[in-house]
Homo-oligomer: A and B are copies of this chain.
């Protein structure tokens, strides 16, 4: 989109690269905003320059939270935090430090690669992994159960209301069938009449 076509590979000239970054960053954030508005979707964009500056767009609070959370972890602190987490983990077996299996496995890999630095054995990791797995399974089972239960309740509610509705409609139909017109002159709906014939209710 410029005077000449550019190949998509790292721009060698530092200055050109910086200029391109400013321009394209602006464009990208604009595009993100546009799509979020035009198409009514949630979009989050995070850009971290190679100098560590953070630029972001977020169409949504929860995503903003995500970005803030990310921001708090970014930079040099990230490495340190990771080290601290690993240390705490190996010392106290704190589950909370690890959020995903991926992280767990990554830690495992690091430990394996680091020629068995301190303490943390693969057995320990497997133990923790099992604990996490179990907790997840329990949580998911409970969640699924609650969801199914709720759906059932709502469906039963609906069914009941449908039945009630039918009953009421039948009532009105019966009344109409058995009522004289002349008695109903002041009713909003003249066709709904009570009459002298026996009302038949076929509720059940």
Contacts and interface: CB of A to CB of B under 8 A. Distances in A.
Interface of A: 6, 8-11, 17-18, 20-21, 24-25, 27-28, 31-35, 37-50, 62-63, 65-74, 76, 78-80, 83-84, 86-91, 93, 99-103, 105-106, 108-109, 112, 122-123, 125-126, 129-130, 133, 136-137, 139-141, 143-144, 146-151, 153-155, 157-158, 161-162, 164-165, 168-169, 171-172, 174-175, 178-180, 183-189, 192-199, 201-204
**Copies of this chain, count:** 2
Contacts of A150: 83, 86-89, 151
A39 B17 contact: yes
Nearest to A180: B183
Given A28-B28, A130-B102, A178-B186, A50 B44 contact: no
A41 to B, nearest CB: 5
Contact of A151 (B49, B89, B108, B162): B89
